[in-house]
Chain A
Amino acid sequence: MQLEDKELLQQFRNPETKERAFTAIIKKYQEKLYWHIRRMVVDHDDTNDVLQNMFIKVWNGLENFREDSQLYTWLYRIATNESLTFLEQQKKRSAVSLSDVETGLSNKIIADKNFDANRLEWKLQLAIQQLPEKQRAVFNLRYYDEMPYEEMSRVLDTSEGALKASYHHAAKKIEEYIKNH
């Protein structure tokens, strides 16, 4: 584990420095985690809710963190699970089919004030939303965060081989989508 994360954990476990350490952890990882969640749920307000819930869970569970993986791996795991749970809840709460949920996310992308249909980056986002949620998480972690498969398997609790296959499949689907749109 990185020395800085170790120090942060030690400080977190000390009641006098707990809040300061927690603030430092948030500041260190907030943007990475924000964008990871945002690429899953699209909407900023939803991302904010998921991110805040995620950090609340970090606060509650960090003391029992076993340090058998990197801190950021553990944070990514919570963020990914929270995102998947949120999407699942959203699907059930609105009583619509999966394809309608994807359409809703695509509409949220199109509604973003920076949206430009002619730019490849936005076409990429629309293509990503066509993927199933877990495959979406696999693609984002590998493509954007360049996470090694070994770490990703700890985040998603899936074998490296399955993750590699999922990622390759997702990349091809996305490339095909972009070429056709």
Chain B
Amino acid sequence: MVANAGKQNAYSIPDGYFDSLAESVLSCIKLTEIKYSNPFSIPDDYFDSLADSVINRIRLEEVKLLNPYSVPEGYFESLSDSIISHIRLEEVKHLNPYSVPEGYFESLSDSIISRIRLEEVKLLNPYSVPEGYFASLPKTILNNIRLSETKHSATYSVPAGYFENFAGSVLDKINAATNEVYHELSEVAPLLNRIDKSDIFSVPEGYFQRLSTTASKPEPKTSKVISLGGRIRKWTTYAAAACVLFIIATTTYLYVNVHGRIFDEQLPVEQRISQLDENEIMNYLKDNDGITSGDVISTSTEQDPAIQHLLKNASDEDIQNYLDEYSDPDESADNGI
């Protein structure tokens, strides 16, 4: 058994070990050979200065660790908050709550330039000032002040309504001096002088323009308007006179019979009255209150029927001929003159 146990291998080996063994031994041999051939170059005296450069670098690192600057107390604790605040402030700056008119910035430059030119023009004064004006100005102002103080302290009084009535009283004086009628009324009835004399009745529009046109050509004499009222009144006057005479006669007769007075018996009353002059009869009629020829014939409609009948069929020529024959010589075309 021990003879057979020596011949079996207890150790394991990777698969394919012996197959790749030769290649791996050869690779090691080549690698050893390369090791001894160096492809890299190094500066001259590199290794000689290497120790010094390493020592300097070590010292520099040691110096860096030593800090000569001081820092305020609590600086680092508040540093983060401060940085954050600065950041937020910068952010807020970019948010603008103000509005600007449209086109403001476009016209800003022109506006500024215009203002500058205006300021320049103001400095050029086109106005002149009298010589010595400013020198005497304080004195002038003081004088004006004293003058106004004097006015306010005036001691004279003025009657109430003086200035309101001043113009009227001046006119009154002028009129009194020049106008005889005004002066006369101021003594007799002064109130009438204060009344406006302008015409106050209403007049139809255009009346005076029409008047001169319509009245400029009156009708010829042959066809003039005859006032028949006056002629007829004469007839009625006679008729009325006759009535009155009858009344007087009757009254007298009755009166005589009642009172026994004796008149001239040679002539009847009627005859005596008939001998009276026409003017005496007219005067009697006028002197008696309310008894006038006009009152007897009160309206035009009460004309004597006999006269109406006479005039009914009469032509203008006939009337004119009658009037010419029986017209009163005292009456003329200018009636009342």
- A72 at the binding interface (Cβ < 8 Å): no
Q: Find out whether the CB atom of B212 lies under 8 angstroms from the CB atom of A92.
A: no
Q: Find out whether the CB atom of B195 lies under 8 angstroms from the CB atom of A124.
A: yes
Q: Find out whether the CB atom of A27 lies under 8 angstroms from the CB atom of B337.
A: no
Contacting residues, chain B, for A125 (C-beta < 8 A): 200-201
- B252 at the binding interface (Cβ < 8 Å): no
Nearest-CB residue, chain B, relative to A35: B199
- B280 at the binding interface (Cβ < 8 Å): no
* Also in contact, A81 and B181, with CB within 8 A (given A26-B211, A38-B201, A122-B200): no
The complex places the Cα of A27 from the Cα of B214 at a distance, in Å, of 12
Contacting residues, chain A, for B295 (C-beta < 8 A): 92, 95
The complex places the Cα of A93 from the Cα of B297 at a distance, in Å, of 8
Q: Find out whether the CB atom of B218 lies under 8 angstroms from the CB atom of A30.
A: no
Q: Find out whether the CB atom of A175 lies under 8 angstroms from the CB atom of B337.
A: no
Shortest CB distance B186–A (Å): 11
Q: Find out whether the CB atom of A19 lies under 8 angstroms from the CB atom of B224.
A: no
Contacting residues, chain A, for B215 (C-beta < 8 A): 26, 51-52, 55-56
- A179 at the binding interface (Cβ < 8 Å): yes
Q: Find out whether the CB atom of A23 lies under 8 angstroms from the CB atom of B212.
A: yes
The complex places the Cα of A114 from the Cα of B203 at a distance, in Å, of 10
* Also in contact, A44 and B204, with CB within 8 A (given A56-B224, A82-B336): yes
Q: Find out whether the CB atom of B208 lies under 8 angstroms from the CB atom of A30.
A: yes
Q: Which A141-181 residues have C-beta < 8 A from chain B? A: 142-144, 146, 148, 168, 171-172, 174-175, 178-179
CB-CB contacts of A82-93 with B at 8 A, as 1s and 0s? 101100010111
Option from B181, B191, B198 in Cβ contact (under 8 Å) with A175: B191
Shortest CB distance B293–A (Å): 9
Contacting residues, chain B, for A178 (C-beta < 8 A): 191
Q: Find out whether the CB atom of A168 lies under 8 angstroms from the CB atom of B188.
A: yes
Shortest CB distance B195–A (Å): 5
Shortest CB distance B205–A (Å): 12
Option from A23, A38, A85, A143 in Cβ contact (under 8 Å) with B197: A143
Q: Find out whether the CB atom of A42 lies under 8 angstroms from the CB atom of B201.
A: yes
Contacting residues, chain B, for A95 (C-beta < 8 A): 295, 298-299
Shortest CB distance B180–A (Å): 8
The complex places the Cα of A106 from the Cα of B202 at a distance, in Å, of 15
Chain B contact residues: over half helix, strand or loop, or mixed? loop
Contacting residues, chain A, for B207 (C-beta < 8 A): 44, 48
Contacting residues, chain B, for A34 (C-beta < 8 A): 203, 208, 211
The complex places the Cα of A34 from the Cα of B215 at a distance, in Å, of 13
Q: Find out whether the CB atom of B200 lies under 8 angstroms from the CB atom of A22.
A: no
Q: Find out whether the CB atom of A112 lies under 8 angstroms from the CB atom of B201.
A: yes
Nearest-CB residue, chain A, relative to B290: A97
Contacting residues, chain B, for A19 (C-beta < 8 A): 216-217
Contacting residues, chain A, for B203 (C-beta < 8 A): 34, 44
The complex places the Cα of A77 from the Cα of B197 at a distance, in Å, of 22
Nearest-CB residue, chain A, relative to B190: A175
- A6 at the binding interface (Cβ < 8 Å): no
Option from A81, A119, A168, A175 in Cβ contact (under 8 Å) with B336: A81
- B97 at the binding interface (Cβ < 8 Å): no
- B225 at the binding interface (Cβ < 8 Å): yes
Q: Which A58-117 residues have C-beta < 8 A from chain B? A: 59-61, 77-78, 81-82, 84-85, 89, 91-95, 112-114
* Also in contact, A124 and B181, with CB within 8 A (given A114-B201, A114-B202): no
Q: Find out whether the CB atom of A171 lies under 8 angstroms from the CB atom of B195.
A: no
Contacting residues, chain B, for A56 (C-beta < 8 A): 215, 218-219, 224-225
Q: A34-B208, A175-B192 are in contact. List 13 more A-B contacts (CB 8 A).
A: A19-B216, A31-B208, A35-B199, A44-B202, A44-B203, A44-B204, A51-B215, A52-B215, A78-B334, A94-B299, A143-B181, A146-B180, A175-B191
Binding site for A on B (CB under 8 A): 179-181, 185, 188-192, 194-204, 207-208, 211-212, 214-219, 221, 224-225, 229, 292, 294-295, 298-300, 332-337
Question: What are 16 A-B pairs at a CB distance below 8 A?
Answer: A23-B212, A42-B201, A44-B207, A51-B215, A57-B334, A57-B335, A77-B336, A91-B294, A92-B292, A113-B202, A114-B200, A114-B201, A143-B192, A148-B180, A171-B189, A171-B192
